[in-house]
Amino acid sequence: MSGTMHDDESAYESKAAAAEAADDIPNNPNTERSIGAVIARRFSRRDILKGSLGVAAATTLFGANALIAGRAEAQALPSANFKELAAGVDERHHIAEGYAADVLFSWGDPIFDDMTAFDPHKLTGEEQARRFGYNNDYVAFFPLGNAGDRGLLCINHEYVNSEVIFPGINRLKRSDFSKITAAHVSVEMAAHGVTVAEIVREDDRWRPVLNGKSNRRITASTPMTFDGPAAGHARMKTSTDPEGLRVLGTLNNCAGGHTPWGTYLTAEENFHGYFSADAPDFVDKLRVAGPSGTGGAEARSYLRNRIPSAWYNWGSYHTRFNVEREPHEPNRFGWIVEIDPSDPTSTPVKHTALGRFSHEGAECLVDKSGRIVLYSGDDARFEYIYRFVSRDRYRESDRAHNMRLLSEGTLSVARYNEDGTLDWLPLVFGEGPLTPENGFHSQADVVIDARIAADLLKATPMDRPEDVQPSPRTGKVYAILTNNDRRTAARTNAANPRPENAFGHIIEMTPPDGDHVAARFTWDMLIACGDPAVAEVGARWNPATTADGWFSSPDNCAFDADGRLWIATDQGTGWLKTGKADGLYAVDTEGSLRGRSRLFFRGPIGAEVCGPCFTPDGETLFLAVQHPGIDGVHAWKPFARPSTFEDPATRWPDFEPDMPPRPSLLVVRRKGGGRIAS
């Protein structure tokens, strides 16, 4: 989801106390200034922005490997090989010469073989629950058999743009629900979640297998269970689930992960946006203690998590989304959910051991100790990066055992030190400040309020952590920080050194001797994003990066079959500053070209690019194009008004009259066959 949707249109923000809306007072109350901030103040902001710092100072601010030119390290990975695409913005998508990018699924397409073609005028909730969902995001591919030509594709559906899904909505503000009926909400809920779909490759082309026995839609209404420390806790109990063990649905499924035992992980990101209250002053009164306050025992948690933000009016038709009626329901979202794609009757599990926050993703690996290590970013301004280490060890041929690995372990949060080290701080009840005096009475409280626990441990507030991706080849971990326009100079720190960070940056974390369980890693800045030709931006790229190749607001990333890093962007309306549509870029991480980026694909106007996912043979790349025709189209000269169902900025990818733009999953292949970018 784009930056504007995260905060600026939030009813929470508009209703909250004026102090909350102040530009530099984030929701995260951790205002401690780090050593990095001290360093930043030692150099004037002008020096930093103009890139006029000396080598020593710049190294301090950006890490030892940030001075990319001339860095001598063994070339361990080949560069991606393709002719770079020209940057720009128009109604269509574009791919590098010699490649094809074809639609595999679009919003509304049938997932089962007994269905008719999509007609958006006839869409019901029941229909939508059997069709491809909206706003496709993370993608994972699970091979079936050994031939490489058949597999299960799992795709997240993050959120909906109702004014483009439904005829006659035409709303100007997200908080205007006057035309959103129960029938609309039913479609919205069914358009969220996950699609599991079998696909097959014939004659170099992938196509859906509509009678695939694993095909499935998971929605905001699908029954799920909890495990881990919060399962069954009093704060998880509701009127319809007095045991606190069962919940309906998953929400705002952004990025995710896949496990070595063949399951899919979907991350619940901006869950706070789905909850509302009846009282118009509910949020204002959260800060009032005692009987005249609101929120009861959950008030602190609501405030810290911006609950209720009322981006949707599901609470008008389903009382569980109304926090006055069902105060614990928000505690049941914001988790990582494990889904077994091979069994369409399996019940998804929300793993509370992994903590509750706006999870962007959940990529994991088997550490050399045999434990599962999972990394997850909390995507909001000034939030944190987390690591989970399983208590038990992976067993190659014991899937039932492996399916429990995410149920128990240690959750930690990252503190980035100015000397280039980073400490993983365990979030364990009873240790340090995580005690009853600070409102924590069990590990359930710690995981439910992971953000508050991390505040107390003085973790490093980051510039909106998106994907946190370990390289299967080098073991280094890449943390994508998309941007943070509210970071002031006084609140910079070593790992987030730029005030008003409009363009984002990428941090590389290195475990010692490849030990992902270690308490201390080292870290370095790979890239500071933005236009390298504008000194004030303070961008850092390998000088071989062209005017087409630099990017802004990195979001999702993936490694290809050769271990090369690819970055997809989500600028939101920020593309109006860069003049570039969101795209997919190949980035060198090793050798003399470290920090070079090249443009491979760009999406249509108003879309972000999500879910880069390569097949193991390196011949196919899946790309999810999300919210085409939405972001920034009001200021795009050829259109200059908001998109609606009747009048969208683009009708990508169909370009048929009366068909609105459709978020779509693309399949990228090399014309004539072969590995991508080799």
Footprint on this chain of Ca ion (rule: CB under 5 A): 254, 467, 469, 555-556, 558, 570
590 binds, among Ca ion, ligand FEO, none (CB under 5 to 8 A by kind): none
Smallest separation, CB 347 to Ca ion (Å): 26
Binder of ligand FEO out of 91, 109, 269, 298 (CB under 6 A): 269
Round to whole Å and give the CA distance between 537 and 517: 36
Whether residue 645 contacts residue 166, with contact meaning beta carbons closer than 8 Å, is answered with yes
Q: Which is nearer to ligand FEO, 241 or 379 (CB)?
A: 379
Asked if residue 466 binds ligand FEO (CB under 6 A), the reply is: yes
CA angle 559, 357, 251 (to 5 degrees): 80
Q: Which is nearer to Ca ion, 256 or 327 (CB)?
A: 256
Considering only CA atoms, which of 566, 570, 586 is closest in space to residue 578?
570
Name the residue number minimizing CB distance to Ca ion.
570
Query: Residue 39: how many CA atoms within 13 Å on its side-chain side?
Result: 23
Q: Which is nearer to ligand FEO, 39 or 624 (CB)?
A: 624
467 binds, among Ca ion, ligand FEO, none (CB under 5 to 8 A by kind): Ca ion
- Quote the strand ranges of 395-481, DSSP E: 409-416, 421-426, 462-463, 465-470, 477-481
Asked if residue 463 binds ligand FEO (CB under 6 A), the reply is: no
Asked if residue 1 binds ligand FEO (CB under 6 A), the reply is: yes
187 binds, among Ca ion, ligand FEO, none (CB under 5 to 8 A by kind): none
Q: Which is nearer to ligand FEO, 91 or 158 (CB)?
A: 158
Considering only CA atoms, which of 583, 544, 573, 541 is closest in space to residue 87?
583
Smallest separation, CB 376 to ligand FEO (Å): 11
Smallest separation, CB 361 to Ca ion (Å): 6
Considering only CA atoms, which of 209, 38, 91, 85 is closest in space to residue 549?
85
Smallest separation, CB 270 to ligand FEO (Å): 7
Identify the DSSP state of 501: B
Smallest separation, CB 4 to ligand FEO (Å): 12
Considering only CA atoms, which of 578, 577, 525 is closest in space to residue 550?
578
- The number of residues that bind ligand FEO (CB under 6 A) is 8
Q: Which is nearer to Ca ion, 129 or 506 (CB)?
A: 506
Whether residue 272 contacts residue 306, with contact meaning beta carbons closer than 8 Å, is answered with yes
Binder of ligand FEO out of 360, 383, 508, 560 (CB under 6 A): 360
552 binds, among ligand FEO, Ca ion, none (CB under 5 to 8 A by kind): none
- Directed axis angle between helix 55-62 and helix 35-42, to 10°? 150
Per-residue mark of binding to ligand FEO, 538-567 (x: CB under 6 A): -----------------x------------
CB proximity list for 74: less than 8 A, separation 6 or greater: 590, 591
Asked if residue 363 binds ligand FEO (CB under 6 A), the reply is: no
Q: Which is nearer to Ca ion, 110 or 554 (CB)?
A: 554
CB proximity list for 143: less than 8 A, separation 6 or greater: 150, 151, 615, 616
Considering only CA atoms, which of 408, 154, 186, 412 is closest in space to residue 314?
186
Binder of ligand FEO out of 87, 160, 251, 254 (CB under 6 A): 254
Smallest separation, CB 578 to ligand FEO (Å): 18
Round to whole Å and give the CA distance between 483 and 505: 7
582 binds, among ligand FEO, Ca ion, none (CB under 5 to 8 A by kind): none
158 binds, among Ca ion, ligand FEO, none (CB under 5 to 8 A by kind): ligand FEO
Whether residue 530 contacts residue 552, with contact meaning beta carbons closer than 8 Å, is answered with yes
269 binds, among ligand FEO, Ca ion, none (CB under 5 to 8 A by kind): ligand FEO
383 binds, among ligand FEO, Ca ion, none (CB under 5 to 8 A by kind): none
Asked if residue 383 binds ligand FEO (CB under 6 A), the reply is: no
CA 287 vs CA 235, 292, 661: distances in Å: 20, 10, 42
Round to whole Å and give the CA distance between 154 and 339: 10
CB proximity list for 558: less than 8 A, separation 6 or greater: 469, 565, 566, 612, 613, 614
Round to whole Å and give the CA distance between 132 and 140: 15
77 binds, among ligand FEO, Ca ion, none (CB under 5 to 8 A by kind): none
CB proximity list for 468: less than 8 A, separation 6 or greater: 360, 361, 363, 375, 376, 377, 385, 477, 478, 479, 480
Considering only CA atoms, which of 498, 492, 651 is closest in space to residue 32?
492
Q: Which is nearer to ligand FEO, 159 or 416 (CB)?
A: 159
Binder of ligand FEO out of 84, 91, 158, 588 (CB under 6 A): 158
Smallest separation, CB 27 to ligand FEO (Å): 15
Which residues of this protein are in contact with ligand FEO, per CB under 6 A? Answer: 1, 158, 254, 269, 360, 379, 466, 555
